[in-house]
Structure 1
């Protein structure tokens, strides 16, 4: 758990970071801003153990935390997910 705490503390350096384990293997991430605003997000076991899913989760949290439009990530960064056709069954 300490490694996860350190990871998020380095990514969200402007926030106080706290993590709490969940019974399903995920964590509850709590970010406290200097002005006292608290943001909480649940990260699943799959998100924590897949580099790609963790990257997407961090991008989504950054987007949610952005208070000004100028702080939002570049659109191309949000469109990094690969799209593929769903299988069809006949």
Structure 2
């Protein structure tokens, strides 16, 4: 487990990384930012023991963190302000 924690700590060096063992052989990964926000992800046994799947999992976590950092606008601001019927053709 220490080797796994060291791997994630090196990849996500800007975060405080903790790992907890799961009964199925996977881990629960917790990343804590300096502002106190937490991101938790479950990493399966298969992902931990396949280099390709582990790489995909790390890429997905990086993408999720980047998305959170961009502070996307509220969904109501993205929706159309005017609703109208679609044209019909006869």
Short-chain TM bin = 0.7 to 0.9
Spell out structure 1 runs of 4+ moving beyond 4 A.
Answer: none
1:68 Cα deviation from its structure 2 partner: 2.7
Gaps of 5+ in 1: 70-90
RMSD between superposed Cα atoms in Å? 1.1
**1:33-85 deviation digits (Å, cap 9, x = unpaired):** 0010000000000000000000000000000001139xxxxxxxxxxxxxxxx
Q: Distance in 2 between matches of 1:68 and 1:59?
A: 17
TM-score w.r.t. structure 1 length? 0.75
Gaps of 5+ in 2: 72-90
Is the radius of gyration larger for structure 1 or structure 2? 2
